[in-house]
Chain A
Amino acid sequence: MARRLAALAATLLATSFIIYGAVYLAPGSPLTAVTGGRPLPPATLHAISHEYGFDKPFIVRYWDWLTGAIHGDFGRSVVFRQDVSSLITPRIGTTVFLIAYAALLILLIGVALGLVSALRKGHLDTAILTVTSVGTAVPAIVAAIVLIWIFTLQLGWLPALGSGSGLAGQLRHLTMPAIALALAGTAYVARLTRAAANEELRREHVATARSRGIPERYVVQRHVLRNALVPITTAAGLTIAGLIAGTVVVENAFALNGLGSFLVQAVGQKDVPVVQAICLILVTAFIVVNTVVDLLYAVIDPRIGFGGGDDR
Chain B
Amino acid sequence: MKYKDYYAILGVARDASAEDIKTAYRRLARKFHPDVSKEKNAEEKFKEMAEAYEALKDTEKRAAYDQLGRHDAGQEFRPGPDWGQQFGPGNASFDDIDLSDLFAGLSARRSRQADAGRRSERPVAGSDYEAAVRLTFEQAYTGTEVDLELSVLEWDPDGGVRRVPHRVKARIPRGVTNGEKLRVPGRGGRGARGGPDGDLYLDIEVTPHPLYRVAERDLYLDLPLAPWEAVLGTSVQLPTPGGPVTLKVPAGTRAGQQLRLSGRGIARGNGTAGNLYAIVRIEVPTTIDDAERESYRQLAENATFNPRAALEREASR
Instruction: Say whether A and B bind each other.
Output: no
B residues at A contact (CB < 8 Å)? none
